[in-house]
Amino acid sequence: MPHVEIKCFPGRSEEQKKSCAEAVTKAISETMGCDASSVSIAIKEIEKEDWKASVWDAQITPEMDSLYKKPGYSCD
Looking at the annotation, which residues are catalytic? Answer: 2
Contacts 24+ apart (CB under 8 A), 30-33: 32/2
Q: For 38, which DSSP code? A: G
To which H or E segment does residue 41 belong?
strand 40-45
